[in-house]
Amino acid sequence: MKEVMIWVQTTEEAKVHIAYHPVDKPKEMYTTQAYQTQAEEAFTARLIANQVEPGNTYAYSVFINDKKVERSYPMTFQSLPLWQWRSDPPDMKIALGSCAFISEERYDRPGKPYGGQYEIFASIHEQKPDFMLWLGDNMYLREADWYSRTGILHRYTHTRKLPEMQALLASTHHYAIWDDHDFGPNNSDRTYRDKHLTLEAFKLFWGNPTYGLDGESGTESMFQWGDLDFFLLDNRYHRTPPHKKGTDRKIIGDKQLDWLIGSLINSRATFKFVCIGGQVINSFVKYENHINIAPDERQVLLDAITENEIKNVIFLTGDRHHSELSLYENKGIKVYDFTVSPLTSRAYESESEPNALRVQGSQYGKRNFGIMEMTGEKGKRALTLFLYDTNGKEVWSQTLNPQ
């Protein structure tokens, strides 16, 4: 409500600042502090607009070495409204997706390109979402990238400069979690040697409000938007090796699990969204589904939701290169898992997978993105989930009412 972070990347060392004003008051101009980008930070800058008031939309311009950068698309941001005790919660539109592979032939595997149909980012932008949730594998580290800071920063930069992505980046707020491919090698876990480097890069290229719990390393965080709470989980930094013998395998770990359960209990949000890279509700005991890697941890979490009567929990997940909606119900408490994948990576047709908790008709095995719309006055709120194909055509929708 009182500040907004704007992310910028230059192509060489430069002084960067932002000038901004309320869209209806073009003469009421403010500027951020200038920042000198440097090679050690991949020429990135995180500029804080701290002269904003709640509930406004602002237009902004980027200045590099005091010269205005012209762009052909709108450049705007918004501050959240102060609605509590004053009005109904705001309506909102949220975009979501995962698995964004941007091809680079000299580093890709030979053969058919793994990434494609980048026009999906224009389709998302045309929806005019308030913000976007990136649900992991937001870029794909290659073999040449895994074990050097140079390679990691190159991969982020190559992905982020995609032309089709620019308009979406410039006028939509963004929050992110990671999964294996933007954390490290395929199916990687806490043993990955350079996880401190990928964590550093994640902080350079995303703008989440915080990172980690109680001073410990990781990407865990949370934020509120209107009457919704979003919990951003780290499913890699603390993960035990998946083939470790015994029953103590973890994906998120005891400390993060305890924080999540306590936060869900304390939340008064209409819906509580738990964002994590891999599927939680899917009953299929294979791949990187939670039930396959850490079944005991999954059961502890689901039991805690049931025992504490935590209503309206929805997991937002990616990873699987297909999309679907799953529903787990115990003692009248419903828990959904909305999986949205892939954005531009190769898709996987999984209709034959025996997920006993899949909502009928929700499986989709092509590139896609999700939209969630929250509407209605207080006490009569409704959440509608949409799945769209690459060109922005609706695949299916389902409306959920709070329990």
Report the distance separating Cα 78 and Cα 55, nearest Å: 7
Give the mean model confidence (pLDDT) for residues 46-61: 98
pLDDT at 232: 98
Q: Residue 330 corresponds to which amino acid?
A: N
Give the mean model confidence (pLDDT) for residues 151-176: 98
Q: Identify the band that residue 247 occupies on the pLDDT scale cut at 50, 70 and 90.
A: confident
pLDDT at 242: 83
Domain 4-78, CATH 1.10.275.10 — does that match? no
CA atoms within 13 A on the CB side of 240: 16
Domain ranges in the chain are 4-78, 92-400
pLDDT at 80: 97
For 190-209, how does the pLDDT look when each residue is reduced to its tens digit (9 = 90+)?
Answer: 999 999 999 999 999 999 99
Report the distance separating Cα 10 and Cα 189, nearest Å: 32
Q: What's the pTM?
A: 0.98
Q: Identify the band that residue 244 occupies on the pLDDT scale cut at 50, 70 and 90.
A: confident
Residue 104's Cβ-count burial label (10 Å; 0-12, 13-18, 19+) is middle
For 285-303, how does the pLDDT look when each residue is reduced to its tens digit (9 = 90+)?
Answer: 999 999 999 999 999 999 9
pLDDT at 246: 77
For 381-400, how does the pLDDT look when each residue is reduced to its tens digit (9 = 90+)?
Answer: 999 999 999 999 999 999 99
Give the mean model confidence (pLDDT) for residues 41-52: 98
Q: Identify the band that residue 117 occupies on the pLDDT scale cut at 50, 70 and 90.
A: very high
Report the distance separating Cα 60 and Cα 16, nearest Å: 13
Q: Identify the band that residue 248 occupies on the pLDDT scale cut at 50, 70 and 90.
A: confident
Two tokens, residue 60: 């902004």
Report the distance separating Cα 220 and Cα 232, nearest Å: 5
| Confidence check: pLDDT of 7 > 90 | yes
Report the distance separating Cα 168 and Cα 206, nearest Å: 14
Q: Which CATH superfamily is domain 92-400 in?
A: Alkaline phosphatase D (PhoD) (3.60.21.70)
| Confidence check: pLDDT of 276 > 80 | yes
Residue 351's Cβ-count burial label (10 Å; 0-12, 13-18, 19+) is exposed
pLDDT at 352: 86
| Confidence check: pLDDT of 360 > 90 | yes
Pairing of strands 4-9, 44-49: antiparallel
